[in-house]
Each structure stands twice: as structure tokens, then as C-alpha cells.
Structure 1
């Protein structure tokens, strides 16, 4: 079974990981909410935007590190605020960082994305997504971890051939880079 305590045990509070010099740095926020009968993670459905390689896809809030961000946790918190209106500095507890995942360098994007884990005590009553976000969704972490929400889907709208593994969240599918980050988290918890 997966719990906040299990995730806390694998999250590293030791600071930012070493990112290869030629990679751009980015961070995403894995925002967890464990209730009495549910364990959820916040996702965003990205708005469609020309030139954005992740346009229209499910994602975790996040983005590129900016010069004013002293840590990747600050990057994730700033981006979450900008994209959803959720103030993690005020409403969340930082649990630590996970291992970074490289975005597909074959696509011309050499980017290291490092998940930053936060816990909320209460689900926000109102979020204010910006122009980058079509909507905010909450996925069942227990179902993802157990494989209950696991699915295979095709994405011709993203010029992808074949089917890809993912997790069903409402009427959307979390796949690709975000799916890899979730599986890395789940594998670390299982060890």
C-alpha cells in the first residue's frame, strides 16, 4: 500500500540534484492529499498552445527554473502558483525531491525535470487556472499504484503512432514523461 509516510521515506531532502550542464532545469510539483478514505494527486490538463510540445496533455504543475528560484522546490511552487493559484508556500508541506527525468533529447529538448513532492492537509476549495491550464484534476494515487487505473491509449492528436501506457484520471490519460515520473515514484516506494 502507498501512503504519505512511504513517499516521505523516498523523497530526498538533501537539496537539488546535479543536473548535467548542457540540460535546462525544470521542476514539477507532485501535490498529494491523503484523506481518511482517499489518497489523491493534483494534475493539470494543459491548454492547447502552438509550439508547446506538451500542449493539451495531462501534466503536473511546473516549468523551467528561473534565475530568481534558489531551489527547484521554489521553481515548482512558483509555477504551481502561476498555473493554478495554489500557494504551496502557504498551504503545502515540502516533503523532498525525487530523481530527475530527462525529457526526450531526440525531440531537440534537452531538459531535466525534477519532481518536487508536497503534501496538502486540505483540498483547495477554489483554484484559478491561468491561460496555460485548461483544468485541474485529482487522480487516485492508490489506484495508480495498484495498477487499477492503468490503461493503454493512442494519441494521434499528438502525432504519436501506436499505443502508450498511462493512468486514467477522469476522462483523461496521464502518459509520457508524467507517467514515467509516477512509475519512478512507485518503484522507489516498492523497494
Structure 2
């Protein structure tokens, strides 16, 4: 796709399923899973994200993230981790998600490997239920804004460093592993 309009759900589904995504770096890293959920793809595609609460000593305080978390021993797969964490953090259940598949594995600077899953969500941000002690608010990221920043900062065709890769949204900025996932997805869209 060379532009954002229109977002074709069937093309995106096939692209995600047919593409070879970043592979796991191995078992020596802590495992986590997240969901990148797209809402309203036909009219105004937005990505559901969360702003972590400003808790003293919490390493992810005030960071924009995709819903997800670390794998628990009772999780049978990375996908089951993503669904469990999604429900715990937002109240969104598996039946509300049309999962297209994995976008691959992304490493953080603290020795964690995140497997990112992509799916469509038919809900509304007002329906999201979260614990205010962990999550400050829901951030709906317009996909068009991500693409605009991607182009304006000339991110296409390269992987910017951690210190450069940044997607501003509202009064916050997406950086770190979440920005790396957005970058990867945007690169897929713009091929």
C-alpha cells in the first residue's frame, strides 16, 4: 500500500499471514505478548493503546504501550498470554477480537522479548475497563498520524535507533518497543 486510504482489511489479513515476521531471539529472554488492535478500519483506523499510570518506581510509568504483559506459567501459548493480558488490562475479551496473527518478536532494552499480535476490535474506547492504579488512560492512536510521522521523519526503509524513533500522539509520545512495533507495521503497510 502506498497510501492510507482506504485500509483494506482483507489485504492486511493476507499480508500479515503471508509475511515472514521477526523471529524469536531465543529462550534466554523474558517472554511477553501484546495486542495491536485496530478499530474502525474502513473509516478512521485507530490503534488502541494505554498510558501507564504515573507510579513511583514503576519502570513503565507514563509510557504509551499496547495492551499486554509477561507470560505466566499457566499460559499455553504467546497468543493465550496476549488474550489474558488484554482482558486483564482493558476488559476486552477474545470474542471481541478478530486476530489476524503475529507480527513477530520485538526485543526491549531490558531483556524482554515481546510477541505482538494484530487484530481488529469492534468496540468503543468508552467500553474499555481498566484499573486506574495501573493505567492512566486509553490512548487511541490514529493510524494516519503514525503514517504521517513515519513519512515526515523519513523512517521508511530503515530502522531508526531507540533515541530517534518517536511517534507523537496527543500530549504524549510513543517510543521504545511500542514505537518499534508501530514502525514495523507501518513499513508493512507502505510496501
TM over 0.5: yes
Cα separation, partners in 2 of 1:32 and 1:80, compared to 1, 3 Å: same
Give the SS at the match of 1:53.
coil
Pick the structure with more strand per residue: 1
TM-score by length of structure 2 reads 0.80
Q: Provide the residue aligned with 2:123 in structure 1.
A: 122
Q: Do 1:144 and 1:167's aligned partners in 2 also have CA atoms closer than 8 Å?
A: yes
Q: What is the CA–CA distance in structure 2 between the aligned matches of 1:179 and 1:77, rounded to whole Å? A: 21
Please give the per-residue CA displacement for 1:55-77, whole angstroms capped at 9, x wherever unaligned: 21111111111122122121111
Residues 143, 149 of structure 1: 8 Å contact kept: no
Tell me whether 1:62 sits opposite 2:68 in the alignment: yes
Aligned-pair Cα RMSD in Å: 2.6
TM-score, length-normalised on structure 1?
Answer: 0.80
Q: Report the counterpart of residue 82 of structure 2 in structure 1.
A: 76
- For 1:26 and 1:118, the matched residues in 2 are separated by 17
Aligned counterparts of 1:67 and 1:134: Cα–Cα separation in 2? 28
In structure 1, which of residues 7, 11, 17 is the aligned counterpart of residue 12 of structure 2?
7
Q: Unpaired segments of 5 or more residues in structure 1?
A: 152-162
Matched residue count: 174
The aligned counterpart of 1:134 is 136
For the pair 1:29 / 2:30, whether they are aligned, the reply is: no
3-state DSSP class of the match of 2:127? Answer: coil
Q: Is the 2:50–2:135 Cα contact (8 Å) retained in structure 1?
A: yes
| Residue 93, structure 1, aligned to residue 94, structure 2 | no
CA distance in 1, matches of 2:175, 2:27: 27
Partner of 2:54: 48
Q: How far apart are residue 147 of structure 1 and its match?
A: 2.4
Distance 1:175 1:6 in 2: 27
Distance in 2, matches of 1:72 and 1:42, equals 19
Which secondary structure does the structure 2 equivalent of 1:41 belong to?
strand
